Structure 1
Amino acid sequence: MIYYEDLEIGKRASFGRYEVTREEVLEFASKYDPQAFHLDDEAAAKTHFGRVSASGWHTCAMTMAMMVENMKNVKQAGLGSPGVDQLMWKKPVYPGDTLRVESEVTEKRRSKSRREMGIFKSRAQVFNQNNEVVLEMTSNGLIAVRDPDAPIEG
């Protein structure tokens, strides 16, 4: 099990494989982001997308699915997330794309109010099959501390 004490700033991970299907793009968009360029080939062809593209929020959901699947293998003592500092959709995601994630731990600190908890930042980039970045985000994670009674640094 990986705890706060085990996190290393600068440590990188590469994981995931998500095949984007047309059916899933249309299903997600119809329910959560029903804009024409996510649902209709003709309408999408008249936009800068050129064809039906996945919602950015769908791309976030696919990214989260890959992250959670990776956590099953890594066995992290994760406690959720208080949010995302930065999120950018760099390129459209299309049906037929295959996505993967690269992440890096960029900061970490102990919580002063919750001694059993650490907070860390990570930068994630999602790539398509052409190694183009389609999503980039900086997020915050909460993770259990192995020894809550240990002195808090700083």
Structure 2
Amino acid sequence: MAGKWFDELKVGETFDHPIRRTLTETDNVLFSAMTHNPALLHLDEEYCRTETEFGQRIVNSAFTLGLMVGISIGDTTLGTAVANLGWDEVRFPKPLFHGDTVHVTSEVIELRDSKSRPDQGIVTFLHRAYNQHGDLVAHCRRSGLQRKRPQSV
């Protein structure tokens, strides 16, 4: 189990996740197609070249969000999560493009015991994603229900 138990986490603890991911055209087009998102910003190179400020297709922000959280799982909640409770304050201050490489950090910003489940707690992370230039491209708060370390019998 790679993830941490709820009672192992500390407010202010930061994870600099070692997994990095270079985004491909296939990632973007396949994700957009699978989610039925026909936005020209993700699929039409000519439109983006001539009609947008970006000059090229941008990566689907829902993919960026999923990737950012997914990269964090191995170090934080793998094997210890009960449920994802929600994403708040999701922001994309800069776009990602095909060929960009993403890296992610996560910070524990809140911990509280579950009122209804004494063997679990609620953790809130602040996830941040950066491109290869160090530009912040996405961030969100994510709350999850996390198992506490099992008590010895």
Partner of 1:9: 11
Deviation for aligned residue 1:101 = 0.4
Does the aligned pair in 1 maintain the 2:6–2:121 contact within 8 Å? Answer: yes
Aligned partners of 1:146, 1:28: CA distance in 2, in Å? 36
Superposition RMSD in Å: 1.8
Find 1:140's aligned residue among 125, 140, 143: 143
Partner of 1:56: 61
Within the alignment, does 1:125 sit opposite 2:128 as a pair?
yes
Aligned partners of 2:123, 2:74: CA distance in 1, in Å? 19
Q: Structure 2, unaligned stretches of length 5 or more? A: none
- After TM superposition, the score normalised by the length of structure 2 is 0.87
Partner of 1:39: 43
Deviation for aligned residue 1:97 = 0.3
Deviation for aligned residue 1:75 = 5.3
Within the alignment, does 1:83 sit opposite 2:86 as a pair?
yes
Does the aligned pair in 2 maintain the 1:30–1:39 contact within 8 Å? Answer: no
Does the aligned pair in 2 maintain the 1:78–1:144 contact within 8 Å? Answer: yes
Deviation for aligned residue 1:47 = 1.2
- After TM superposition, the score normalised by the length of structure 1 is 0.86
Within the alignment, does 1:94 sit opposite 2:97 as a pair?
yes
Does the aligned pair in 1 maintain the 2:68–2:127 contact within 8 Å? Answer: no
